[in-house]
Amino acid sequence: MALKRRRDISNVSQLAIVDPPLGVDRAALLGDVLSANGDVTSEVIEAALLEKNGVRIGEHLVAKGLATEDAVAWALANQHGLPFVDLTLEAPEAGALALITPATAHDLQIVPIRIHPNGTLDVVVGDPRDPRLSPVLERLPVTRVRVGMAPPSQMRAVLSQHYSAWSDVQKLATAAGIDDVVDVRDAAADLAGDDAPVIQIVNQLVSQALRDRASDVHIEPNADRVRVRFRIDGSLKEVVSLPANLARPLVSRIKIMADMNIVERRRPQDGQFAMDVDGRGLDVRVSTTATIWGEKAVLRLLDRSRSLYSFADLGMPPGPGDIYSRIVRSPFGMVIVSGPTGSGKTTTLYATLSEINRPDINIMTIEDPVEYVFPSVNQIQISEQAGLSFATGLKSILRQDPDVILVGEVRDVETARIAVQSALTGHLVLSSVHAIDSVSALYRLLDMGIESFLITSAIVGVVAQRLVRRICRACAERYEPSLQDLAVYRKLGGVEKDEWFRGRGCNLCLDTGFYDRVGVYEVLGITDEIRQCVVNGQPPRVARDLAIQNGLSTLQHEAIRLVEQDITTIGEVIKNVFVSEDFS
């Protein structure tokens, strides 16, 4: 489980940046190291050198899934004669951190670790090939600099934690006449900028959220404080507590940025704004609502630099994946992706579009909001103010000669009826519905008032999905699950295991024990038996039992498979997938 081939920087006697001889092809050298280590075959390296198109060979291999980030970083360290450092085990010292400004640390990917009594500074870098590194390190007030290297993901996590964007919020709040800031993360760094304190606080808050991989920021006024929480990998985590009298200035600043009415404080409002963070474009959707303690603001962060998922990136196992691949290649019909809010439905729909997109077909979407711009696809943004709803937008799309239509969400009977009729008239329609499983999605349309014979004629397949957190591989450790967890595991059909793993918590995962998320999928192909069951008015439980008899691999079964493979934990399955019916 744990990352291999680590080396502690404290045990290295001499570190330095070592460049290859002038005129030597660094890409070829890195490829040779990867090949010699057995991480990538020489044939793959040769093909990648022809395909990389100006991109560094290591970045190309990682992007294509041909090599792991850890393997490339290890090979790069070897190529430059540097030790490979496990930053999950290192605790940077405040004195060392103070030698490099946050802006420089983030820009050049430098983490100072410690200053030794003899004046030697240990630093870890993300890319030793950066020509800007040497001048910066040479100007540091130390007798010698020893350099190690770590993977980019570890660098980002440690920089985010120890060069927190708001670690100097106390100074900013004091400048605004506000005191008693409590930083839950207890990070240490300086803020820069000449803007007003409240403006800086908002900017730094959004910056830190992006660096921490947060999808949402919650700014919540209470009786005696303002609580700020980030949603990271699906779970909320409190990151800073501010004085109560900072609530109104913070929300007002956010509303100004999002072009919202700052005078109106009683009605819910929505808006959006864009900004750049660390050279990355960011779209921020803002929602405010009144609570008993004042206005609460929620910011949804959409990183424009994040690449779209491909179909292969979804991680569907071979069985459900093969079924879904056949379903989405239907010439017409309706494909539904179901699940609760935040379960990755939009990601699955976008990945599906990337799989079926071709120059000879016209793909059009109607979304609220358009989260990511999709090349060569005609995307329409919902605008209630302009009278453009899902239903009206879908009607206009049908006059645009579409082959494939993506409806962001079926929310009402009018949209559902138009979508179903579009599928019956020769279009492939992709959409999402809020339902707990694949069979429930069919009955959700029945509840909306769509006739059963239309549903069974139009729908060709349904995907139900959830997201569960991955065990952090950098700090994975063995443990003994509780008797209650074992009972759930066995009840859901898990095979007997001798070893169980969970994340201990480290710098990389912000002490959560989890890093990133993985999808859990239930794919239902609509068979004649299922159609007959729905048309005959059988209850959902009967239809679900019939689907399982016909080979449906349920969400619970797929989730337990991830536990068997030490990808996630029983607790994550109970939290995100388990339902009370599983024990009935």
Using one digit for the tens of pLDDT, what is the confidence trace for 23-33?
A: 334 444 677 77
Amino acid at 322: D
SS (H, E, C) 418-442: HHHHHHHCCCEEEEEECCCCHHHHH
Kindly state the greatest CA–CA separation across the chain: 83
DSSP 190: -
Beta bridge mates, 82:
none
Q: What is the pLDDT of residue 6?
A: 39
Amino acid at 386: A
For the chain, what percent of residues have pLDDT higher than 90?
Answer: 46
Q: Say whether pLDDT at 564 is over 70.
A: yes
- Work out the pLDDT band at 170, boundaries 50, 70, 90: low
For the chain, what percent of residues have pLDDT higher than 70?
Answer: 88
Sign of CA pseudo-dihedral 227, 230, 231, 236: negative
Rounded-to-integer distance, Cα 294 and Cα 265, Å: 8
Q: What is the pLDDT of residue 403?
A: 95
pTM above 0.95, yes or no: no
Question: By mean pLDDT, which of 5-19, 143-157, 482-496 is the weakest?
Answer: 5-19
Angle between the N-to-C axes of helices 438-448 and 528-535, in degrees from 0 to 180, rounded to the nearest 10: 40
Average pLDDT, the chain: 84
- Work out the pLDDT band at 461, boundaries 50, 70, 90: very high
At 509-534, the pLDDT tens digits run 888 899 889 999 999 999 999 999 99
